[in-house]
Amino acid sequence: MADNATHHYISSFFLVGIPGLQDFHCWIGIPVCLLFSLTLLGNSIIIITIKLEPSLHQPMYFFLGMLSMNDMALASSTAPKMLGIFWLDAHWIDFDICLAQLYFIHTFCIIESALLVAMAFDRYVAICIPLQYTTLLTTTMVMKVGLASVVRAIFLVLPCPFLIRRLPYYTKYVINHAYCEHMAVVKLASANTHVNRTYGICVALSVMVLDLGLIATSYLKILQAVFRLSSQHARSKALGTCAAHVCTILVSYTPALFSFLTHRIGKKVPPSVHIIFASLYLLVPPTVNPLVYGVKTKQIRDRVIGLFFPNKKISEN
């Protein structure tokens, strides 16, 4: 009661942006804006192409459409506020809006991870047990997998804002970050945050270990099946169907792992480096994914060319 009488709870936070690089914020905003614009454009093209082209109404492309929608939502939850900081000096953010932002960011990240697992399973079934592909991965099953990905993420992240809400925030209100990130907000509390830290680490580790484990298992099975093929052409074709997905996994998980490790054990890593990687983790994969799938996946590449250049002949091979 004494604390309540002598302290005032803060109602908003101050987002610094990128510490040490404030003088360059206006320039940093340019690539952020470019990445955000490309994310919206590229993923919109992927979604429209899949919707309009009946030959792409297959599980692999349904999962890709879900990934594109999630990528657009993830980028939209961070980039506008970042641009506000970099270009308009709009550093202040309401306490509840900050909690909402961190909730959506972490939810969309977990959905992204689950969809990558689903796409790995899709490739496993297509290559290892192709005769069961149409019976296992029906449209209904694909929708159930997508729904399960969303539900898992919602309930895993849901306790985070409530656990933060119970903490007192009296004096510290400056977040050395470009957006509201869970641990960055937790560190400002004027109380013991052991429960918050433990829960955050448990969720992050469980998602990474489980999802990466499932992806690794799928690709080990795929490699075993591929190397049993006698034809070199068949091997190349089978591996070629996985190339885009492997690129997406590397682009998504590499900065995520770096950000996670530096935030907790990388004490000597400059804050600016950590925040740049944390921002790249949220902005680069949503931009790169449609480019990777557009270049690596012939069906999508040909349909996109057909949409924009209807008179151009599309190769059949």
pLDDT tens column, 239-283: 666 777 777 777 777 776 766 666 666 567 777 888 888 888 889
Of the two residues 199 and 248, the one the predictor is more confident about is 199
Structure tokens of 265? Answer: 């054990």
pLDDT of residue 41 exceeding 70, the answer is yes
Which of the four pLDDT bands, split at 50, 70 and 90, describes residue 54?
confident
CA distance 258 to 284: 14
pLDDT recorded at residue 267: 63
pLDDT tens column, 66-100: 999 999 999 999 999 999 999 999 999 999 999 99
CA angle 300, 301, 305 (to 5 degrees): 115
Residues 6+ apart with CB under 8 A from 296: 240, 243, 244, 247
pLDDT tens column, 22-39: 888 999 999 999 999 999
Of the two residues 296 and 78, the one the predictor is more confident about is 78
Please report, as a single letter, which amino acid is at residue 162.
Answer: F
Mean pLDDT of the chain: 85
pLDDT tens column, 232-241: 776 776 666 6
pLDDT recorded at residue 238: 67
Of the two residues 210 and 270, the one the predictor is more confident about is 210
pLDDT recorded at residue 199: 93
Which of the four pLDDT bands, split at 50, 70 and 90, describes residue 228?
confident
pLDDT recorded at residue 226: 79
Q: If you search the block for the tokens 């069906």, which residue do you land on?
A: 299
Which of the four pLDDT bands, split at 50, 70 and 90, describes residue 5?
very low
CA distance 96 to 105: 14
Average pLDDT over residues 92-116: 94
What's the predicted TM-score (pTM) here?
A: 0.88
> Is 71:46 a contact under the CB 8 Å cutoff?
no
- Does residue 126 sit in helix, strand or coil? helix
Which of the four pLDDT bands, split at 50, 70 and 90, describes residue 317?
very low
Structure tokens of 296? Answer: 């690596």
Per-residue HEC secondary structure of 22-47 comes to HHHHHHHHHHHHHHHHHHHHHHHHHH
Which CATH code is given to the segment(s) 12-307? 1.20.1070.10
pLDDT of residue 205 exceeding 80, the answer is yes
pLDDT of residue 4 exceeding 60, the answer is no
